[in-house]
């Protein structure tokens, strides 16, 4: 089943350091890992592994990093035909400093990602698509995607991240109105609702936002979903988590895979919770599982 994922594509560089350098100091890097990243691209890869046929809609520069990032997506079975190539701009890059205390410090260069404009979301690029997932906090893209989704008859999900939550309810409310599924993590839900407690935040957002389903991931506490007047919660599976990077993207892709199969809200939540639990046991932003692995995990 064809779907589209719209938003960021990055090249991620992880540097494991024993200490963070002070001004004018040099700190040694103990280990280096590179891999594809960017929320929309991670979602597309996770969706492909779960048996969907995703196309990625985003932008890269005309540089080697962009080529590597696109090749990685192609190798995962993601269609990159409609990726915009922008001359004179560098592709998105994220540098993550991983300290032994487990704390990560990230430096993001959005580069070509910023060149994706509402005018790039033309209906022709979405023909034949059953679902559009938007992983961006840019409201101008969300508004345009809503138009296109209506035109091509696709359902729509949005994961706006911190960038969207920071905008506040007055801006977010009209932007997401009518969206089928809205994803956020607990920090974003609390920020947007102006509440310290995630449960109060979910309840407030469920009242304030007119979306089909509101899905809030709660990290090691699982996830909650509000839809059709009902609030559901699942506890996280007990696993040895080694890397939660991209867990939210994997969760969203698995939830949408079940949504498109017409599963009930509890089944969607459970399947996504299982897929994300498998992901966190493996390093890397794109270490999401295949469909059969999730089924086997749930049956075990
Ligand atoms: P990211 O931004 O890194 O993609 P996120 O903050 O959007 O992540 P989280 O809420 O941290 O997303 O996690 C998403 C899902 O991953 C959770 O809802 C849960 O299903 C699973 N998960 C995360 N951490 C754990 C854990 N320690 N054990 C089991 N499952 C986990």
- pLDDT, tens digit, 9 for 90 and up, residues 266-300: 999 999 999 999 999 998 889 999 999 999 999 99
**Mean pLDDT of all residues in the chain?**
95
Q: Could you tell me the CA-to-CA distances from 152 to 34, 75, 133, 188 in Å, in that order?
A: 37, 27, 14, 30
* Helices first, then strands: H and E counts in the chain: 10, 14
Cα of 127 vs centre of ligand 1, distance in Å, is 32
Please state, as a whole number, how many other Cβ atoms lie within 10 Å of the Cβ of residue 123: 13
Atom number of ligand 1 nearest to Cα 223: 18
| Averaged pLDDT, 56-73 | 96
Beta strands in 200-290 (DSSP E): 213-217, 223-227, 230-234
- pLDDT, tens digit, 9 for 90 and up, residues 132-149: 999 999 999 999 999 999
Ligand 1, pocket residues at CB < 6 Å: 185, 217-220, 222-223, 236-237, 239, 241, 244-249, 251, 273, 276-277, 280
| Averaged pLDDT, 86-106 | 89
**What is the predicted ipTM?**
0.97
Cα of 199 vs centre of ligand 1, distance in Å, is 17
Q: What's the pLDDT at 199?
A: 87
Tell me which of 224, 251, 286 to substitute to probe ligand 1's pocket, judged by most ligand atoms within 8 Å of the beta carbon.
251
Q: What's the pLDDT at 108?
A: 95
Tell me the C-alpha distance between 252 and 157, whole Å.
9
Closest by CA to 268, choosing from 278, 258, 277, is 258
Tell me the C-alpha distance between 85 and 61, whole Å.
5
Q: What's the pLDDT at 243?
A: 86
- pLDDT, tens digit, 9 for 90 and up, residues 200-259: 999 999 999 999 999 999 999 999 999 888 899 999 999 999 888 899 999 999 999 999
Cα of 141 vs centre of ligand 1, distance in Å, is 25
Q: What's the pLDDT at 76?
A: 97
Tell me the C-alpha distance between 130 and 180, whole Å.
12
Closest by CA to 199, choosing from 222, 180, 181, is 222
For residue 191, give the H/E element and its range. Answer: helix 186-193
Which tokens go with 26?
């040099």
Q: Given a cut of 80, is residue 102 above it in pLDDT? A: no
Catalytic status, residue 31: no
Q: What's the pLDDT at 195?
A: 94
- pLDDT, tens digit, 9 for 90 and up, residues 188-200: 999 999 999 988 9
- pLDDT, tens digit, 9 for 90 and up, residues 30-51: 999 999 999 999 999 999 999 9
Tell me the C-alpha distance between 194 and 190, whole Å.
6
Please state, as a whole number, how many other Cβ atoms lie within 10 Å of the Cβ of residue 132: 25
Tell me the C-alpha distance between 69 and 74, whole Å.
9
Please state, as a whole number, how many other Cβ atoms lie within 10 Å of the Cβ of residue 240: 6
| Averaged pLDDT, 93-122 | 92
Give me the helix-helix angle, 139-152 and 169-176, nearest 10°. Answer: 10
Q: Given a cut of 90, is residue 100 above it in pLDDT? A: no
């Amino acid at each position: 089943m064809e779907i589209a994922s719209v938003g960021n594509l990055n090249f991620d560089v992880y540097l494991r350091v024993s200490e963070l350098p002070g001004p004018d100091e040099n700190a040694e890097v103990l280990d280096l890992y590179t891999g594809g990243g960017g929320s929309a691209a991670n979602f597309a890869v996770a969706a492909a592994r779960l048996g969907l046929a995703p196309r990625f809609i985003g932008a890269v520069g005309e540089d080697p990093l962009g080529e590597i990032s696109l090749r990685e997506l192609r190798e995962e079975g993601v269609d990159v035909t409609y990726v915009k190539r922008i001359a004179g701009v560098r592709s998105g890059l994220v540098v993550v400093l991983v300290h032994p205390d487990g704390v990560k410090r990230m430096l993001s260069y959005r580069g070509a990602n910023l060149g994706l404009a509402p005018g790039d979301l033309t209906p022709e690029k979405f023909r034949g698509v059953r679902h559009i997932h938007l992983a961006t906090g840019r409201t101008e893209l969300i508004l345009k995607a809503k138009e296109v989704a209506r035109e091509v008859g696709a359902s729509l999900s949005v994961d706006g991240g911190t960038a969207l939550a920071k905008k506040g309810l007055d801006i977010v409310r009209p932007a997401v109105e009518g969206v089928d599924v809205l994803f956020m993590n607990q920090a974003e839900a609390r920020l947007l609702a102006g509440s310290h407690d995630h449960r109060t935040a979910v309840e407030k957002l469920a009242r304030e936002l007119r979306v089909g389903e509101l899905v809030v991931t709660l990290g090691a506490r699982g996830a909650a979903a509000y839809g059709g007047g009902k609030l559901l919660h699942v506890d996280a599976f007990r696993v040895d988590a080694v890397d939660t990077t991209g867990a939210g993207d994997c969760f969203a892709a698995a939830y949408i895979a079940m949504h498109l199969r017409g599963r009930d809200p509890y089944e969607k939540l459970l399947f996504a919770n299982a897929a994300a639990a498998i992901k966190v046991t493996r390093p890397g932003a794109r270490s999401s599982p295949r469909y059969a692995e999730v089924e086997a995990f749930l049956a075990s």
